[in-house]
Amino acid sequence: MVISARWLRWGLNLWPPYLFSGIHVERLDQDYRYARVRLSLRFYNRNYVGTHYGGNLFSMTDPFYMLMLLHRLGRDFIVWDLKACIRFRAPGRSHVWAEFHLPDERVEAIRAQALTEGRANPSFHIEIKDASGMLIAEVDKTLYVRPKNRTAH
């Protein structure tokens, strides 16, 4: 199923885990090359000490590279999350943002590796920052990509 970026953005913003966590997809480019996500700090999503709950910081980054790459590679590829790691750098005491960039060169390199080697495991680094640019957390994600017509190695 192919869904437009506009509809995907709308759907994610109404998806209960995002809607009730204060996570909002501000931008998802129609070509799936760029996305920007905001996590608002509200009374209902703060932790015991009044800062961002770590699970929400991670959730705001979770699906984007997988979804973006899935749409960029097309129906002939399988794309799954393989692993992720989050490092907390500073307490989040205000709204925070994360940006996702997926340039053409990176997509083509992933495609070529998956076709040549039977699979690819691209890694992505995501920085979560507040409005002042302070680094709040870093997330490293690794995906699993393979052509549908090949078996996993």
Task: State the pTM of this model.
Answer: 0.92
With tokens 């992720």, the residue in question is 84
Instruction: Encode pLDDT of 138-152 as tens digits.
Output: 999 999 999 998 655
Give the separation between CA 22 and CA 38, rounded to whole angstroms.
8
Instruction: Encode pLDDT of 54-97 as tens digits.
Output: 999 999 999 999 999 999 999 999 999 999 999 999 999 999 99
Q: Strand (E) positions, the chain?
A: 23-28, 34-39, 77-88, 96-101, 123-130, 135-147
